[in-house]
Structure 1
Amino acid sequence: MSQRRTSADAGPATIRDVAERAGVSVASVSRVLSGNYPVSDDLRRRVMKVVRELDYVTNAHARSLAGGGTPTVAILINHITGAAFAHVAKGVEGAASLRGWLTLVGTTGDDPERELALVNLMRRQGVTAVVLLGGAYDFEEYQLRMARFARSLDSAGSHLVLVGRPALKGDAPATTVDYDNEGGAYAMASHLLSAGHRHVLVLPGPAELTTAQGRLNGAHRAFEAYGVPFRQDMVHHGPYDFEHGLRAVEHSLEQGPPFTAILAGTDVVAAGAMQALRSAGLRVPEDISVVGYDDIPLASQLTPKLTTVHVPYEEMGRVALRAVADRREGGAGRRGGDGDQFVLGTHVVVRQSVRPPERQG
């Protein structure tokens, strides 16, 4: 019986390693992986079990990874229509195009299982790097599996880049390009508090996303700094979409405690909140102040123009691609290690949607 490969073995697993472990011929493994030949279900199960155990990468793009083809970067995003991270994708694609690289875009649909599956698929396709956009899911199993994929990508000559989310725990070889998420929320909540607001409806985003957790923590810290009680019953979690902003505000107007301002987790959520206020006959900012987060073009197109937190999304995309290029082309073109970490700043953009509460109504 063949001995089990260990992490100390040199280089990634080969098709011969898979054949030896499975107890079949190299030709049989090739037939299973190609999908072009009829094979028994038992053979397919045996081979694929070993493929998973060895983290074997179907090396269709080996020549590209070795420098003989066009580098390809895979961008994974929650929704292709998501305005904020579409700007990150634009930054990645623009910087890649300048280098003559190709980009692929895949969508995860806010599904952590699909996200993990796509990372694994891109690993098997041999892309130069996987750029993963948006907040991470705060589940231990998810974090462990993502760290495992980062190491597997690295062993296959690829690299994982996390944009807009915290670094992976442990020694996972992934580059992180983040922004001061919590600091931006702290600054925005402080802006409302300094204007005199004490009853603020907070719509930070999905409870399980690190992005929403950071924005909620930042707001909480601001309330503590101002000596104002932070009311959990005025926090409503939900998706980063227009519908959530609309429904959360409708519900709060009907059943919740009174509020003079709304701190929305994104500009799109803020737009939904403003629509709910208008439908209820309330004016922004005369009756209720509203602020957002992201500073996408929509923020300056709303009436009134939205006060929000500016996040340099497009620049984050360019930084992410440069980090990949540096690893591939320069002295950073190495494997292993924790990977680089970059943090970009945020700031409040003051427009027309905030007014002190004594001037409201």
Structure 2
Amino acid sequence: MTVTLADVAARARVSAATVSRVLSGNYPVAERTRSRVLRAVEELEYVVNGPASALAAARSDLVGILVNDLADPFFGIIAGAVQEELSGAAGPGGEQLAVVCSTGGSPERELRYLTLLQRQRAAAVVLTGSASEDPEHARALTAKLARLSGAGTRVVLCGRPAQPASPAAEPPATLTTLAFDNRGGAQRLTAHLVALGHRRIGCAAGPAGRTTTGERLAGHRAALAAGGIADAPHRTVHGAYDRASGYDAAVELLRRDAGLTAIVAANDAVALGACAALRDRGLRVPEDLSVAGFDDLPFSADATPALTTVRLPLREAGARAGRLVTGREEPPPGGLATLRAELLVRGSTSVAYP
């Protein structure tokens, strides 16, 4: 439901004229009253219409793409594929403008960008990658996306789980989720190592409290359990999704258990960092330790040895998100599609040597 000026006035316990004066800034208003009005605007997420009021219902040509880290190829591939589809959809009215917003993994920044895009009356928003598992943030994000969708903005969650639906309403028809099978992919990856005879497997996991980390850890632990291997908490180390974290994680995992025979990494960059740490300690991959990544980023096949990893259809997911936000593809049944993760066995994993 669209929040009106009257709603803000009721929340702030002032007249609609006072709200209008505060927002226009053209008339003097007592500071206490002004603060109360601005607090109501923020709490209700009232969208101030910059152009003329006659254009209040108009949509812009703006498409927002939210990523965790623009420097990470995972997000660059998805964002690039979305933008290619936007260019391909250009008609007589011209292309839509894609704006990429890097949140740095900050839940607060994610919400701020969504508010800014709402104020710009964005035609569409694509949210990519991992989400915060914090329940309070999840509730705030669900409410924010409901407002965007309710105002006609097409929203696609790409590479993250579906948002919990509001108990009071059906999920908006303009919100679609393209989820990656992180759990299934991680389970197949660890099962591959177990089948090679590995029993002491370290895990260089992603940041705690993120959905992708939780899903991949759940798959890893399920494969351990299926292989009759007890989950040892000391064999899991959390860190960022980058090479430096992989290096540090490998050092810490070997400090905790010098008998490790394999390491599964949060992603390919983390896996490369782990390989570097092993080389610096005179250990060979895979002869001394097997190392596996996740995502199948472009450099993984060119590493030495080439990384065993799980391929996620990043480009395909981004292209599909682009078609969905431009209305060139019908949403999947129920607004949710889960994209399969494929195990790719390469040279960085081998049988466990005695």
TM-score normalized by the length of structure 1: 0.86
Q: Structure 1 residue 12 and structure 2 residue 13: aligned? A: no
List runs of 5+ in structure 2 lacking aligned partners.
90-94
Whole-Å Cα distance in 1 between the matches of residues 111 and 11 of structure 2? 25
Query: Which residue does the alignment assign to 2:165?
Result: 170
Partner residue in 2 for 1:348:
343
Query: Cα deviation per residue 1:62-81 (whole Å; 9 max; x = unaligned)?
Result: 888856x6522101111110
User: Take 2:281 and 2:259, find their aligned partners in 1: how far apart are those partners?
Assistant: 14
Work out the CA distance in 2 between the residues paired with 1:186 and 1:126.
Answer: 41
- The code of the aligned residue for 1:86 comes to G
What is the CA distance between 1:155 and its match in structure 2?
A: 2.6
1:50 and 2:43 are equivalent in the alignment? no
In the alignment, what sits opposite 1:185? 186
What is the alpha-carbon root mean square deviation over aligned residues?
Answer: 2.6
Deviation of the 1:286 alpha carbon: 1.5
Partner of 2:243 in structure 1? 242
Q: Secondary structure in 1 aligned to 2:145?
A: helix
Residues 331 and 292 of structure 1, relative CA distance in 2, 3 Å threshold: closer
Secondary structure of the corresponding residue to residue 357 of structure 1: coil
C-alpha distance 98-255 of structure 1, shift in aligned 2 (>3 A): same
> What code does the residue aligned with 2:214 have?
Q
Residue among 156, 159, 167 paired with 2:154: 159
CA displacement at 1:261 relative to structure 2: 0.7
Per the alignment, residue 202 of structure 1 pairs with 203
Contact 1:65–1:128 (8 Å) recurs in 2: no
- Do the aligned residues in 1 keep the contact of 2:60 with 2:120 (CA within 8 Å)? no
- The 3 A distance-change label for structure 1 pair 260 and 152 is same
Give the corresponding residue for 1:316: 317
Q: Cα distance, 1:296 vs. partner?
A: 0.5
Which has the larger displacement, 246-255 or 146-155?
246-255
CA distance in 1, matches of 2:198, 2:255: 20
SS of 2:238's equivalent?
coil
The answer to whether the aligner puts 1:357 opposite 2:346 as a matched pair is: no
Aligned to 1:102: 97
Q: Equivalent residue for 1:87? A: 77
Distance 2:87 2:27 in 1: 38
Contact 1:70 1:102 in 2 (8 A): no
What's the CA shift for 1:52? 3.1
Q: What is the TM-score normalised by the length of structure 2?
A: 0.87
Alignment match, 2:291: 290
Q: CA separation in 2, counterparts of 1:65 and 1:183?
A: 45
State how far apart, in whole Å, the 2-side matches of 1:308 and 1:36 are: 60
Is the 2:60–2:121 Cα contact (8 Å) retained in structure 1? no
Q: C-alpha separation between the residues in 2 aligned to 1:210 and 1:20?
A: 38
Report the 3-state secondary structure (helix = DSSP H, G, I; strand = E; otherwise coil) of the residue aligned with 1:109: coil
Residues 261 and 289 in structure 1, CA contact (< 8 A), matched pair in contact too: yes
The 3-state SS of whatever aligns with 2:348 is coil
The alignment partner of 2:271 has SS state of helix
Partner of 2:275: 274
Percent identity, aligned pairs only, is 40
Shift in alpha-carbon separation, 1:63–1:314, aligned structure 2, 3 A: farther
Task: Work out whether residues 234 and 257 of structure 1, in 8 Å CA contact, stay in contact via their aligned partners in 2.
Answer: no
Q: Confirm whether residue 305 of structure 1 aligns to residue 300 of structure 2.
A: no
* Shift of residue 35, structure 1, vs aligned partner: 6.2
Q: Where do 5+ consecutive residues of structure 1 fail to align?
A: 1-10, 333-337
